[in-house]
Chains A and B, each alone.
Chain A
Amino acid sequence: MFRNALGKTLRFLGYTVQYGCIAHCAFEYLGGIVVCSGPSMEPTIQNSDVVFSENLSRHFYCIRKGDIVIVKSPNDPKSNICKRVIGLEGDKVCTSNPSDFLKSHSYVPKGHVWLEGDNLRNSTDSRCYGPVPYGLIRGRICFKIWPLNDFGFLRASPNGHRFLDD
Chain B
Amino acid sequence: NIFRTIGYKKKYVKVPHGHIWVEGDHHGHSFDSNAFGPVSLGLLHARATHILWPPQRWQKLQPMLPPERKPLQREQE
Does chain B have a CB within 8 A of A119? no
Interface digits, B1-37 against A, CB 8 Å rule (1 contact, 0 not)?
0000000000000001111000000000000000000
Of the 9-residue stretches A11-19, A59-67, A71-79, A156-164, which lies at the interface with chain B? A71-79
Q: Which residues of B contact A72 (CB under 8 A)?
A: 40, 42
- Tell me, yes or no, whether A135 is within 8 Å of chain B by CB: yes
A94 within 8 A of B: no
CA distance A86 to B17 in the complex (A): 25
Q: Which residue of B lies closest to A76 (CB)?
A: B18
Please give me the residue from chain A that is nearest to B17 by CB atom.
A75
Least distance between B75 CB and chain A CB atoms (Å): 14
Chain A residues in 8 Å Cβ range of B42: 72-74, 77, 135-136
**In the complex, A75→B40 CA distance in Å?**
7
Query: Which residue of B has the minimal Cβ distance to A72?
Result: B42
Those of B38-69 within 8 Å (CB) of chain A: 40-44
* Contact residues in B for A133 (Cβ distance below 8 Å): 40, 43
Residue of B whose beta carbon sits closest to that of A109: B36
- CB interface residues, A 67-91, toward B, < 8 Å: 72-77
Smallest CB-CB separation from A135: which chain B residue?
Answer: B43
Interface flags, A44-67, vs B, CB<8A=1, else 0: 000000000000000000000000
What A residues does B40 contact at CB under 8 A? Answer: 72, 74-75, 77, 133, 136
Sampled A-B contacts (25; CB under 8 Å)? A72-B40, A72-B42, A73-B18, A73-B42, A74-B18, A74-B19, A74-B40, A74-B42, A75-B16, A75-B18, A75-B19, A75-B40, A76-B18, A77-B18, A77-B40, A77-B41, A77-B42, A77-B44, A133-B40, A133-B43, A135-B42, A135-B43, A136-B40, A136-B42, A136-B43
19 further contact pairs, Cβ within 8 A, besides A74-B42, A75-B18, A136-B42: A72-B40, A72-B42, A73-B18, A73-B42, A74-B19, A74-B40, A75-B16, A75-B17, A75-B19, A75-B40, A76-B18, A77-B18, A77-B40, A77-B41, A77-B42, A133-B40, A133-B43, A135-B42, A136-B40
Q: Name B residues whose Cβ lies closer than 8 Å to a Cβ of A.
A: 16-19, 40-44
